[in-house]
Amino acid sequence: MKLARITRIVQILTYLQSGQKYSVDQLADLMGVSRRTIFRDLNQLEAIGIPFRFDSEVHGYTLDPEFFLPSIDLNLQEALSLLMLVQKGRSHLPLPFKNSALLAGIKIENNLPAEIKSYCNSSLENISIRPHNHAPMDQLDSVFAAIQRAIKAKRKLKMAYFSLYDGGDIELEFSPYHIFYNHRAWYVVGYSSIHDETRTFKLNRIKQLSVLKKRFIDGDKFDIAEYFGRAWSMIREGKVYNVTLRFSPRVARNVSEVRWHVTQQHSFNEDGSLTANFRVDGLNEIKWWILGYGDQVEVIKPAKLRKEVARAGAKIAKLNSDPKS
């Protein structure tokens, strides 16, 4: 039976660690796969920094004797949770340093007791993570690392950025305070020189980035929770509203199962519907969330939000009505 790729890579690494030299044909026979597959696995090992080499005299691969995988002591649940994140989540979640995550997973798995390793491998065959749509980020590792270094050293960044707010490309000096992931994309928040205030920037819209020698002195007391306050997601509008919504019985249970906002309170009604209350800063973000439930939700208050949802709903209905003959 063919082994899962991550398990196969771990076993190849184990063979190479033994000190014996293995040819591609030998590894292919041991793994029950083709030579091409072994070459792909070796390329993956090379990409994550495993220091193996090819001995031309014996036509075999061996591992640098100075490279070792440290011992690790994890119980079954600890091992399974970490390997599940690395093996199943690594390819589907927009995490930086994915190759480093894979190397960490290999180190963990290679040092597990045989019975725990076997349990994890068999369990992971029956676990999958469906990918979420997220903003493409081809240079995530390098951009993330540069921002992280700048935050640590309190150095300013010079940034070329495509700004929807400004309607085009802008250039600025930026003092980064905090990196965060929210709603399918990575962001950095900090002080913008051209806006003269704290702003949030989306990492995949950064076109050029360099760490400057200039330092910034503020940001030590920056609190991400305080910065977002009671915004529904990320955008504060400067006015807090008490929002009451009634969800139909069809979606009530699903709505109640998620903690949508820190201020959320809800209760079920006799007919199976759900009344949900929130205290949020701004109405635009929550309005678009409400519209996602279509005719399964009614805005009870505030009146301003009820009118805006109705107006948006009317525009949607008009846009999607049958074309005139």
pLDDT by residue (tens digit) across 160-218? Answer: 999 988 889 999 999 999 999 887 889 999 999 999 999 999 999 999 999 999 999 98
Alpha helices in the chain (DSSP H): 5-17, 24-31, 35-47, 76-83, 98-110, 114-124, 140-153, 224-228, 249-256, 284-291, 303-319
Which tokens sit at 111? Answer: 């040092």
CATH for 240-319, options being 3.30.420, 1.10.490, 3.30.70, 3.30.1460: 3.30.70
Q: Hey, what CATH topology would domain 140-228 get?
A: SH3 type barrels. (2.30.30)
CATH of domain 5-63: 1.10.10.10
- Cα–Cα distance for residue pair 95/77, rounded to 1 Å: 22
pLDDT, residue 146, reads 93
Confidence of residue 68 (pLDDT cuts 50, 70, 90): low
Say what percent of the chain tops pLDDT 90.
47
Q: pLDDT value at position 65? A: 62
- What are the start and end residues of each CATH 2.30.30.520 domain in the chain? 140-228
pLDDT score for 1:
37
pLDDT tens-place string over residues 272-308: 999 999 999 999 999 999 999 999 999 999 999 999 9
Map tokens 């036509």 to a residue: 59
Question: What type of residue sits at position 292?
Answer: G
- What predicted TM-score, i.e. pTM, was given to this entire model? 0.69
**In this structure, are residues 83 and 109 in contact, taking their beta carbons and an 8 Å threshold?**
yes
Residues of the chain with CATH 3.30.70: 240-319
pLDDT at residue 19 is higher than 80: no
Residues spanned by CATH 1.10.10.10 within the chain?
A: 5-63
pLDDT attached to residue 304:
97
Nearest to 216 by CA among 146, 160, 153: 153
